[in-house]
Amino acid sequence: MDAQERKALVRQYRDGHRAVVEALRGLKDDELDRSASNEWTPRTIVHHLADSEMTSAIRLRRLIAEDDPLIQGYDEAQFASRLTTDRPIEPSLEAMRWARESTAQILERLTDDDWLRAGTHSESGPYSVEDWLTIYANHGHDHAKQIERSRGRS
């Protein structure tokens, strides 16, 4: 991956929060727990994003700061089923926003050597800073599309 590809992915990563907020625009409280697509509800998606963003922020920091870290996976479905039932979504949207913003600031300052750092993911094996960016650049956008589907918009 060259510097231009990384820059584009960092821009996409930074834009993920905006995409989610846009997908939620106009959503009424009674729509938070319904899904026209039989996927996760908007409430579940937003809380998942907060959990995932906080986890991913630590993963990136470990990849950069530690030598050959073991990046632990977690059961996203279990988190979603146990942690997302009725809480308001605003704090989770803010957690996503600020985890992404603070992480984007780190990404924008990485050296060429930092981009080469890697560890091992407990579920998927070798896991580099570039792998991390490829996954999380799309994550917010993918879930924004899922929110749109849950609202019957696509």
pLDDT by residue (tens digit) across 39-90? 899 999 999 999 999 999 999 999 999 999 999 998 888 888 887 778 899 9
Please give the pLDDT value at position 118.
97
| pTM greater than the 0.75 cutoff | yes
Domain with residue 57: its CATH number is 1.20.120.450
Residue 75: which domain range? 3-150
Mean pLDDT of 13-42: 93
Q: Kindly give, in sequence order, each residue whose CB lies less than 8 Å from that of residue 128, ignoring residues fewer than 6 positions away.
A: 63, 116, 117, 118, 119
Q: Is the pLDDT of residue 22 over 90?
A: yes
Element (H, E) at 119: strand 118-121
Say which residue, 79 or 20, is predicted with more confidence: 20
Question: What is the distance between the alpha carbons of residues 112 and 110, in angstroms, rounded to a whole number?
Answer: 7
Going by their DSSP bridges, the two strands 70-71 and 118-121 should be labelled as parallel
Q: Is 125 left (phi over 0), alpha (psi -120 to 50) or beta?
A: left
User: What's the total number of domains in the chain?
Assistant: 1
10: left (phi over 0), alpha (psi -120 to 50) or beta: alpha
| pLDDT recorded at residue 152 | 85
